[in-house]
Amino acid sequence: MRLFIAINFDEETKEHLLTVQSRLRKLGRGNFSRPENLHLTLAFLGEIAPERVAVICRLMDQMTVPVLHLSFDHVGRFKRDDGDIWWIGLAPNKELLIFQKELSERLRNESFLPEGRSFSPHITLARRVVLKEYPDKNKLLEKSFSTDTGTVSLMLSERIDSKLIYTLQYAVHAEKNV
């Protein structure tokens, strides 16, 4: 099973993300993320044996999930030879970084090896993008937007009929003590 742990978004947030994606789509071609696949990856786990899923769920249950205020404030790209990856980035968020670091440490302690590269919070809009012209990134995201979230999800990634499908396997929620 190919798994990752992520924050999924409500429909209003997805609409904001899709607006930016639509502006990008008009400028060229690429493999654009489907609306239901828009998420923020906290830890990519890779191939995991089905019998190990219960360990991940237990680990997630043991964590205190915070209600996070996420602000989307810039657009960027990772340059690739076969087309760029375009994304929306988040404003610096100490609480998110602390939570993600704790999650990664707990996963390593249970012998899961999340990606070794540093955490760079972003939402992938499209892969293998080739543009006719490179836009002013400020015009792609005309103004920042934000959302509050308190759910962390374990997701299964599968390719079905040549489509990338993400399926919720488990979720934990922030306790509402307010």
Residue 144, pLDDT > 80, answer yes
Residue 177, pLDDT > 50, answer no
- Per-residue pLDDT tens digits for 45-56: 999 999 999 999
Q: Which two tokens stand for residue 98?
A: 């602390």
Q: What is the rounded CA–CA span in Å between residue 25 and residue 170?
A: 32
pTM across the whole model: 0.91
94, exposed or middle or buried, with CB in 10 Å at 0-12, 13-18, 19+? exposed
pLDDT band, residue 114 (cuts 50/70/90): low
**Nearest CA among 18, 21, 38 for reference residue 30:** 21
Instruction: Classify domain 2-173 at the CATH class level.
Output: alpha beta
- pLDDT score for 176: 58
Residue 178, pLDDT > 60, answer no
- pLDDT score for 134: 80
- Per-residue pLDDT tens digits for 128-142: 999 988 888 778 998
- Per-residue pLDDT tens digits for 14-44: 999 999 999 999 999 999 999 999 999 999 9
Q: What is the rounded CA–CA span in Å between residue 40 and residue 27?
A: 24
- Per-residue pLDDT tens digits for 60-93: 999 999 999 999 999 999 999 999 999 999 999 9
